[in-house]
Amino acid sequence: MPIEVTMPKLSPTMETGVIAQWLVKVGDPVKEGDPLADIETDKATMQMKSYDDGVIALLDHVAGDEVALGQRVLVLAKKGEDPKAVAQAMGAAGAAKAAAKASSAAAEGHTSGNGKRPDPAVSVAAAEPAAVAVGGRVKSTPLARKIAAASAIDVARVPGTGPGGRVIRKDVEAFLAAKPAAAPAATSAPSSRTSVRIPHTRMRKTIAQRMLAAKQAAPEIHVSIEPRVDRLVAAREELNRRLARENIKLSLGDFVTKAVAMALRLHPALNASFEPDAIVRHGNVNLGIAVALDEGLIVPVLHNADQLGLREIRLQSEALAKAARSGTLTGEQLTGGTFTISNLGMFGTRQFDAILNLPEVAILAVGAAERRPVVEGNQIVPGTVMNLNLTADHRAVDGATAAVFLQALKGMLEEPAAMLL
């Protein structure tokens, strides 16, 4: 029997995946573990791997197609089976559907709107069907490919505006021109004050959908506390002196991560998920660390953070942030989080609210540590203070529970030695 490969669940929250790029074409032999396609999920782009050996008999979709979980994406002919016969038997319905979709999308590009006939003198933005056809072939002209190759860019990344979404010379040139010019163009705004329309990326859609869902689903409370972190700053300086020869530099954020992990172990009510019929207190402490990207944000996960020393926390956080920026996070690095930390301290932000990362029941917003006048006894003295603002899902976490957790956190940050307990 041929194997019908379906859209796998590559992230815990994904419901659909977009085939960013086929890595195989019809007729290719594949072995277990071979990459089949790059799949864009709501979190990141990940490789879909083969769980079987066989020959690709049929691809149901073209790159750019959004496919629901469990829907068939390709058919694998097993040893002894004729891929062509398999393709015929299993039908190319998906491919035909994909083509029909592309052409109807193109047609819609011209007719959609408010029903009023637009002024034909105004140019109608043409729909941009994906430039990749069944089998992963990128529709592009020879000249476009040569220019792309000379500039070492993958022509598949260039949006095509030619017939049927073909990538033409102009597209590659525009792509090349846009890349380095993007940053300066933003600063030289006065010369062009026209509005720009930025179509939603998949990441933007996900952020919008998840943030709205959290605000709608969870009655949230905000509880904040302001630990005085002079000792922590001193400890950090001391440790960084020791770590200097390893070229490791701990940030205050790393201490917060460590302290949060330890405090969560003591207060498992915050290290939990809210499910319709139960609250699940997680056994592991897996901290999501929000990473800002040019195009949005992503939350890679530091697994078993409570078992990591500061050195590991620093190294692993750095590696995750780097992978997030280069889009190379693995599925594991994006899943399993039990609590999230969002830190805007590096921008000088004193205090902010974070929105829950459902189904987790709490998220901590970390502000900048800053020198402020503090009352010590009856004296006003200079001290370093930071704001920690916890957002909690009141369906699962009550105010006092949140406050007690923050109290513990404050204790650890004010007296770093407490973390050793």
What residues are labeled active site? 394
Nearest one of 142, 110, 154, 141 to 128, comparing CA atoms: 110
- Going from the C-alpha of 48 to that of each of 21, 61, 157, 335, the distances in angstroms are 10, 14, 19, 16
Between 122 and 400, CB nearer to another protein:
122
**Interface with another protein (CB under 8 A), residue from 85, 124, 212, 244:** 124
Residues 127-166 that bind another protein (CB under 8 A): 141-144, 146-147, 150
With 0-12 / 13-18 / 19 or more C-beta atoms within 10 angstroms meaning exposed / middle / buried, residue 75 is buried
- Minimum CB separation from another protein for residue 190, in Å? 26
- Minimum CB separation from another protein for residue 361, in Å? 51
- Residue 193 lies near another protein (rule: CB under 8 A): no
- Residue 110 lies near another protein (rule: CB under 8 A): yes
- Minimum CB separation from another protein for residue 151, in Å? 11
- Minimum CB separation from another protein for residue 341, in Å? 49
- Residue 123 lies near another protein (rule: CB under 8 A): yes
Residues 122, 116 contacting (CB under 8 angstroms) = no
Take residue 20 and report the two structure tokens written for it: 């960013």
- Going from the C-alpha of 374 to that of each of 317, 345, 367, 379, 385, the distances in angstroms are 32, 19, 17, 8, 8
- Minimum CB separation from another protein for residue 198, in Å? 21
Dist. CA 305–CA 49, nearest whole Å: 29
**Interface with another protein (CB under 8 A), residue from 78, 84, 101, 169:** 169
Per the DSSP assignment, residues forming a β-bridge with 17 are 67
- Residue 168 lies near another protein (rule: CB under 8 A): yes
- Residue 392 lies near another protein (rule: CB under 8 A): no
- Minimum CB separation from another protein for residue 26, in Å? 24
Residue 166 neighbours by CB distance under 10 Å = 17
Between 76 and 131, CB nearer to another protein:
131
Nearest one of 390, 400, 407 to 220, comparing CA atoms: 390
Between 61 and 139, CB nearer to another protein:
139
Which one of the spans 121-129, 269-277, 282-290, 346-354 is the region binding another protein (CB under 8 A)? Answer: 121-129
Residue 238 neighbours by CB distance under 10 Å = 10
Backbone angles phi, psi at 310, to 5 degrees: -60, -35
Which residues does 391 contact at the CB level (< 8 Å), separation at least 6?
Answer: 220, 221, 222, 353, 354, 355, 356, 362, 363, 364, 365
* CA 399 remoteness from chain centre: 30
Between 115 and 219, CB nearer to another protein:
115
- Residue 121 lies near another protein (rule: CB under 8 A): yes
- Minimum CB separation from another protein for residue 112, in Å? 10
* Separate counts of helices (H) and strands (E) for the chain: 10, 20
Between 199 and 309, CB nearer to another protein:
199
Residues 208, 215 contacting (CB under 8 angstroms) = no
Between 49 and 166, CB nearer to another protein:
166
Which one of the spans 119-127, 179-187, 226-234, 236-244 is the region binding another protein (CB under 8 A)? Answer: 119-127
- Residue 177 lies near another protein (rule: CB under 8 A): no
**Interface with another protein (CB under 8 A), residue from 104, 111, 240, 284:** 111
Take residue 122 and report the two structure tokens written for it: 């105004």
- Residue 104 lies near another protein (rule: CB under 8 A): no
- Residue 120 lies near another protein (rule: CB under 8 A): yes
Q: Kind and range of the H or E element at 109?
A: helix 93-111
Between 163 and 382, CB nearer to another protein:
163
- Residue 62 lies near another protein (rule: CB under 8 A): no
- Minimum CB separation from another protein for residue 185, in Å? 23
Residue 145's identity, in one-letter code, is R
252-266 and 399-414 helices cross at what angle (nearest 10)?
A: 130
The size of the interface with another protein (CB under 8 A), counted in residues, is: 19
- Residue 325 lies near another protein (rule: CB under 8 A): no
Which residues would be at the binding site for another protein (CB under 8 A)? 110-111, 117-118, 120-124, 126, 141-144, 146-147, 150, 168-169
